[in-house]
Amino acid sequence: MPYASWVRTTATSALCTGEPRSAMLPLSPADAVLQFDVELVDLSRASHWQKLMNDVLPLLCIGLIPALLGLIGYHLYHKASSSRGAKKRLKEEKRNKAKKK
């Protein structure tokens, strides 16, 4: 199909089934045949970076999400399992150092 050429396509009622419409105008009857006039404007090839983003990025995200959740879980576990006495002792040492100065 050459550029800037027009094609008339038709879609029968069997091809036009989908989600029910709510208040789309104009309403067409259930057994209508739809005709579309389509013009080919431009074709372009995907660049290397577009291909990389479309192919690699979803796989990278699939791997990163569990890793990040694991790190968050480790941090929360480490924070919860640390002894409270050690924290209080550090605060007291800081206060004593501040008082000495």
Which of 12-16, 39-43, 55-59, 81-85 is most confident?
55-59
* Residue 36: partners with Cβ closer than 8 Å, 6 or more residues away: 8, 9, 10, 11
Residue with tokens 């999400």: 65
Query: Contact, 58 vs 26, CB < 8 A?
Result: no
Predicted model pTM: 0.36
Q: ∠52-57-58 over CA atoms, to 5°?
A: 125
How long a stretch of residues is the chain?
101
Q: Please give the pLDDT value at position 95.
A: 86
| Cβ neighbours around 100 below 10 Å, total | 6
Two tokens, residue 32: 């209508």
55 and 33 part of one domain: no
pLDDT for 63 beyond 80: yes
35 and 68 part of one domain: no
pLDDT for 61 beyond 70: yes
Domain count, the chain: 2
Q: Which domain holds residue 66?
A: 48-100
The phi, psi pair for 35, rounded to 5°, reads -120, 135
Assigned domain for 1 exists: no
Query: Contact, 11 vs 36, CB < 8 A?
Result: yes
